[in-house]
Amino acid sequence: MKRWILGAVAAAALVTAPVQAFAETTIRVTLQLPEKHSLGQNWLAFKKIVEEKSGGDLQIQLFPSAQLFKDKEVPGAVGSGAVEAGSAFIGRFAGSVPTVDVVSIPFIFENEAHVRAAVAPGSALRKEIDSSILKETNNKILWWQAFGLNIYLGKDAPIVEPSDLKGKKVRTYGKIQGWTVEALGGAPTLMSGSKQFLAYQQGAVDVGMTGASAVKSRKLYEVMDHMTLTYDTAIEFVAVMNKDFYEGLTDAQKKIIDDAAREVEQKLRDQIFAQQAAAVDESRGKMNVVELTDAQRAAWVKATAGIVDRFVKETGDKGAAAVKAVKAAAAN
């Protein structure tokens, strides 16, 4: 719901002027990552644009580092109106919209260009997923937030071959990532990003799974020794807003938000791969960074090949269509 904040001047002028002329609309944003992380910076860029374009009528209030809600709680919190907006890993919507997990199928994307084409605003995949999330969860997708590509972290030994996960407890952040670990003989442990540091430090899990940027922002290099650049899946977050709150805005306010969303989505996606490369380079002095050879990568592809079939079997025609949309994007 809207939170109308009336200033003293507006309160004094109620009898002679419409309330809305003096009102500000505050949009609270829940984010599980630190403000300094690329997703936090992305929201701050959005905040700057929206507040400037609205002349201050729209105010963005960011609550980083899971101050309000944990990542898994965001879909429900935003959908119910407990908070106006937020960011969540897209896999958090899989319970209501199973097809969102298509981006987590290992090695379904060939390269950065393929990711960009498949998840671009207006793409066949985006149209289906965005509309389904809106319908099923009352979360309006404002924009997708690129997080980078998946990597593995090891403590006592590096993860190089698929068999290196056998018998290991592995931190995962979504269902498909869990399937991947199972296919490789490991034991998946679903865990929010904010709990990683302590879990690695205390040995609650043997192997980590995350994005390179998180290694830097969460200082995971202090508790893990090895980073393996599998780059097997795209990690995508979504910036969402409560549908009812959005619909209650004026047309002019909606346009400001929509235009800002398109702008910051493109900027983040342009920046993320450069930031990922920089994070990896910075980690080299703190961790052992493993880059897979072509033969090693081929072994990972072969070992996880059955996951796409498992996904289609579980999600049916819609899942098959999502896989088809992703693969078709490679040719564009």
Residue 292 phi, psi (nearest 5): -70, 140
Q: In 54-99, which ranges are continuous DSSP H helix?
A: 74-80
Instruction: Determine how many CB atoms are found less than 10 A away from the CB of residue 203.
Output: 11
34 by Cβ neighbours in 10 Å (0-12 / 13-18 / 19+) ranks as middle
Quick: pLDDT tens for 98-140.
999 999 999 999 988 999 999 999 999 999 999 999 999 999 9
Q: How many other C-beta atoms are found inside a 10 Å radius of the C-beta of residue 332? A: 11
Which among 30, 29, 32, 31 is positioned nearest to 192, based on CA atoms?
Answer: 32
Sketch out the chain's domains with CATH numbers: 4-329 (3.40.190.170)
Instruction: Taking residues 14-40, report their average pLDDT.
Output: 72
Q: Which residues contact 247 (CB under 8 A, 6 or more apart)?
A: none
d(CA 231, CA 233) in angstroms, rounded, equals 6
C-alpha span between 313 and 65 (Å, rounded) = 36
Check: CB of residue 240 under 8 Å from CB of residue 43.
no
Residue 236 has pLDDT above 90, yes or no: yes
pTM value? 0.84
Output the six-digit token pair for 114: 């393929």
Integer-rounded Cα Rg, in Å, for the chain is: 21
- Position 136 scores a pLDDT of 98
Q: What's phi and psi for 211, nearest 5 deg?
A: -105, 155
Q: What pLDDT shows up at residue 273?
A: 85
**What is the rounded (10 degree) CA torsion for 313, 237, 200, 298?**
50
Residue partners of 206: CB distance under 8 A and separation at least 6 = 154, 155, 156, 168, 169, 170
Query: Confidence class of residue 194 from pLDDT cuts 50, 70 and 90?
Result: confident
Best CA proximity match to 235, nearest among 278, 275, 177, 287: 177
pLDDT band at 23 (very low <50, low <70, confident <90, very high): low
Helix, coil or strand: residue 208: strand
